[in-house]
Amino acid sequence: MTTLVVMAKECVPGRVKTRLHPPFSLEDAARIAEASLSDTLALGRAIPVERRVLCFAGEHLPVDADGWEIVPQSEGGLDERIATALDDCAGPTLLIGMDTPQVRAEHVSRALASTPPFDAWLGLASDGGFWALGLREPDGDLVRGVPMSRADTGDRQLRRLRAAGLRVEALPVLTDIDTAESLAAVAGLLPDGQLRRLLARAA
């Protein structure tokens, strides 16, 4: 069984995309986050997988979560939450976040369709983290304990995978939307989705 996992949280003003404020208001930052998640879920529905999991933190689900299996995020840091989500999967699994709505199917197709010699796929983010992790045999211990939200998180995760003897293929480097500058950098790469339309109306 092939599985796509999207890690996401409820888009509440003051709790998501706070680094967009200023210049955006906290309410607008939450709307940007909501649109980013919507576009990510739309991508997920277009990818041919057998199981789609929205690993969600919050009380109110996004309106377009139909067709997704909802799994609450576990307690603990981000590494533990990712690890727990992976431990709940079997077979080739790709895990992505909600911060790269510019991602396209061709960016991730290799992680779900590739044959050996690769065991893992890692998409590094331009800020030093990672936006995607694919595993032929998901194992939370491959992530558990890796320091998150640091400039060397991606490198540490890559070293962890290689130390486990896995053959790792790189996915394209993408930019997380965290600041107004990063949003401007990816605006021209967005699909014709919710975030692109939101930005067009704002402009």
Q: Where are the domains positioned within the chain?
A: 3-197
What is the percent of the chain where pLDDT is above 70? 99
H/E run at residue 7: strand 3-9
CATH of domain 3-197: 3.90.550.10
pLDDT given for residue 41 in this prediction: 98
- pLDDT, tens digit, 9 for 90 and up, residues 163-190: 999 999 999 999 999 999 999 999 999 9
> Rounded to an integer, what distance in angstroms lies between the CA atom of residue 47 and that of residue 190?
17
pLDDT given for residue 115 in this prediction: 63
- In contact, 79 and 160? CB cutoff 8 Å: no
CB-based burial, 150-165: b 16+ in 10 Å, e otherwise: eeebbebbbebbeeee
Distance of CA 112 to the CA centre of its chain: 15
pLDDT given for residue 3 in this prediction: 96
pLDDT given for residue 54 in this prediction: 98
Mean residue pLDDT of the chain comes to 96
Residue 41 CB-half CA count within 13 A: 25
pLDDT given for residue 114 in this prediction: 63
* 135-160 average pLDDT score: 97
- pLDDT, tens digit, 9 for 90 and up, residues 81-139: 999 999 999 999 999 999 999 999 999 988 887 667 899 999 999 999 999 999 999 99
- In contact, 113 and 55? CB cutoff 8 Å: no
> Rounded to an integer, what distance in angstroms lies between the CA atom of residue 69 and that of residue 51?
8
- In contact, 122 and 168? CB cutoff 8 Å: yes
pLDDT given for residue 145 in this prediction: 98
What is the percent of the chain where pLDDT is above 90? 94
* 8-24 average pLDDT score: 97
Q: How confident is the model at residue 152 (pLDDT cuts 50, 70, 90)?
A: very high
pLDDT given for residue 117 in this prediction: 82
Residue 131: which of 176, 164, 89 has the closest Cα? 176
